[in-house]
Amino acid sequence: MIKKISLIALTLTLLTSCVSKKIYTELEDKYANLKKENRSLNDEVNELSNDKTKLTNDLNALQAAYENAIKERDQLRSDYATAKSNLDNLKASYKALEENSSAAIAANAQKNRELLTQLEAKEQALATENERLNTLKKELENRSKRVAELENVIASKDASMRALKDAISKALTNFEGKGLTVEQRNGKVYISMENKLLFQSGSWSVGTEGRKAVQQLGSVLADNPDIAILIEGHTDDDPYKGNGQISGNWDLSTKRATAIVNILRENASINPENLTAAGRGEYAPIASNETTEGKAKNRRIEVILTPKLDEISKLLNEM
């Protein structure tokens, strides 16, 4: 078509000068019609090309759909075969069940009832055990709570005893190096005063300096009304050689302990119910009685301070 149009155009060019006006006009109209036809054909070609592309895409989509259909068909065949096999197995199982005798069915029913009874018994036992475990759990929680409270009380009393020991040490600072020691152990405070600070040999009368030490101790104890105060008298193992007012070392140690109690009782703020006097004689030595130094250490008054344990005893009784 393009060649034809080109030829016509060339012919027009050649004949322009030698043809008549009418012929030229006809040729020119024919040329215009051919150009229009050419454009129409080009549009049709483009439209056909687009249709071809669309058809190609549709073909590819159909091809993919066909392939998927093939896969689905194969899967359905496989599923059908599996389902048929299962059906055959179920039929066989059903047939076997039908062939069981009524006696076997009854036996199975009895066995099922027995198993059900056992299961109910086990469920009841399990419920009972769960209830017991819950009770034990609550009891354990309560005990744990009381243990925590007990630990807090013990820690508080231990801190109080440390503070008391520090206060006593501070109050008796002037007597350090004169046979007086203050220490804390086993939750108690121990004040040890050798006889050289308190008494003359064989006497239970407290000297001036010793009285001052006991009074200063009493000023601290007066501020601690919840402390039990045990005063123990101790001697060495030398037999008592004094006058006939006392019978021996045990009696002497008791009178010395009582003398300390009497000084403490002069402080009206100390509750007498908190005071206890005891004589231990020579039977609780802290050093060897074979040396002069050891005997001097054994001749002593020990003041043992113990926190009242009513609150702790109550917690223990509740556990």
Residues contacting 263, CB < 8 A, separation 6+: 206, 211, 214, 215, 218
The Cβ of residue 211 has, within 10 Å, a number of other Cβ atoms equal to 16
pLDDT at 299: 94
Residues contacting 51, CB < 8 A, separation 6+: none
pLDDT at 204: 92
H helices of 100-207, in order, are 102-171, 195-198
Q: Are 192 and 302 in contact (CB under 8 A)?
A: yes
pLDDT at 81: 82
The Cβ of residue 71 has, within 10 Å, a number of other Cβ atoms equal to 10
Whole-angstrom Cα distance, residue 250 to residue 239?
Answer: 10
pLDDT in 10s for each residue of the chain, 319 residues? 555 556 666 665 655 555 577 888 888 888 888 888 788 888 877 877 787 887 788 778 878 888 887 888 888 788 888 878 887 887 777 777 767 766 776 777 888 888 888 888 888 888 888 888 888 887 777 777 777 776 777 777 788 889 989 999 898 888 877 889 999 988 899 999 999 999 988 889 999 999 999 999 999 999 999 899 999 999 999 998 877 778 899 999 999 999 999 999 999 999 999 999 999 999 999 999 999 999 999 999 999 999 976 555 555 566 6
The Cβ of residue 135 has, within 10 Å, a number of other Cβ atoms equal to 10
